[in-house]
Amino acid sequence: MRKILLLIFVLYSLAGFAQIDVQSLYDSSTETLTLLVKNNTGKLFRLCPFPGQDYYEPGSASFVILQYKDVSGKVLFRRSFFVSEQLPISESTKGKFLFKYDENKYVYNLEKLYEGNINDIYEVDVHIQIEAVSLEDKKDVYKEVIDKSYQW
């Protein structure tokens, strides 16, 4: 009986292994946010949005929303963009896909993305939404939302 329970536990935990792993890393010395998105499967995924989509709606796209705030919490500036939008043109097509057992790296310089006096910033709120759809099986959809705040 113990062996059966152990086997069930092991199989259940392997089934819970994340198909796609998402990490956000912030470097305060360079004011950069790095987003690592790793495909742990043998399937090809496309990061939403769909071709021609130009809106940032929860549940419909992979995007980043940055809100720059002052010391009192007032929003000074807000910027939204699709995850792969800030990549160089040479990498933008690859950045829209998650290849089998591969990892995409997206680096955002928060200082360069801000329009205003950089000395007014106290905090940056970051909202990241990742939505990926398998090209082999359109029903295989992965979604994750990350909300973090970083003091400047």
pLDDT per position as a tens digit, 65-74: 999 999 999 9
Q: What is the CATH number of domain 18-151?
A: 2.60.40
Q: Which of 77, 79, 76 is nearest to 63 (CA)?
A: 79
Q: Which of 110, 43, 33 is nearest to 78 (CA)?
A: 110
Tokens encoding 144? 């994750």
pLDDT exceeds cutoff 50 at 147 = yes
pLDDT exceeds cutoff 70 at 58 = no
Task: Give tens-digit pLDDT for 91-109.
Answer: 888 899 999 999 999 999 9
Tokens encoding 48? 């939403």
76 Cβ contact list (under 8 Å, min separation 6): 68, 69, 70, 116, 120, 121
pLDDT-based confidence at residue 87 (cuts at 50, 70, 90): confident
The ranges assigned to domains in the chain are 18-151
pTM over 0.85: no
Tokens encoding 67? 């809100």
Task: Give tens-digit pLDDT for 112-124.
Answer: 999 999 999 999 9
Give the chain's length: 152
- Look at residue 48 in the predicted model and tell me its pLDDT: 79
